[in-house]
Amino acid sequence: MNKELHYKLAGIIIRDRKLLMCRKYDELHFIMPGGKRLKGETARRTLERELMEELGVKLTSARKFKTWEAPHFRDKNTIVRMETYFVEIDGEPEAKSEINELQWVDSHYKENGLRVASIDEDYLIPELKKRQLID
């Protein structure tokens, strides 16, 4: 059986050694801000559009970081390929559109009762902690 591939671009926003994550209205897990690339869009344009829609902020720079693949946290028949970018933004992030809540997260998020998507838990957060970018 072929697994469905869910391709996402995600913006890494770090402030005070914490990572900005968001939670949609219908989810328990926090995810990275970002989304799917529309036909004909560049990675930068996708990030510009998604960060404005979800957070109400303007993208000022984007630098590619890493790409990971993992089973979707909710549907194990779907593989998520998440291409991450360190981004700089103009404006104060606010929950917009389908986003219900924002949280600044460090590696101790479980102790605070937060759940994050498996790709963030298994790959992104440990990598940012290893590089001493988040606590």
Q: What is the pLDDT of residues 52-99, one digit of tens each?
A: 999 999 999 999 999 999 888 777 788 889 999 999 999 999 999 999
**pLDDT range class, residue 5, cuts 50, 70, 90:** confident
pLDDT at 1 > cutoff 60: no
**pLDDT range class, residue 25, cuts 50, 70, 90:** very high
Predicted confidence at residue 106, as pLDDT, reads 96
Checking DSSP bridges between strand 4-12 and strand 78-90, what pairing results, if any?
parallel
Q: What is the pTM of this model?
A: 0.93
Which residues partner with 31 through β-bridges? 22
Task: Name residue 102's amino acid.
Answer: L
Strands (E), 1-135: 4-12, 14-15, 18-24, 34-35, 58-71, 78-90, 99-105
DSSP assignment letter at 3: P
> 92-125, pLDDT tens digit by residue?
999 999 999 999 999 999 998 999 998 999 999 9
Predicted confidence at residue 80, as pLDDT, reads 87
What CA–CA distance (Å, rounded) separates 124 from 80?
A: 13
CA atoms within 13 Å, Cβ hemisphere of 79? 11
What proportions of the chain, in percent to the nearest 5, are helix, strand and coil?
20, 40, 35
Predicted confidence at residue 2, as pLDDT, reads 66
Contact 79, 4 (CB under 8 A): yes
Domains of the chain: 4-130 (3.90.79.10)
What CA–CA distance (Å, rounded) separates 77 from 6?
A: 10
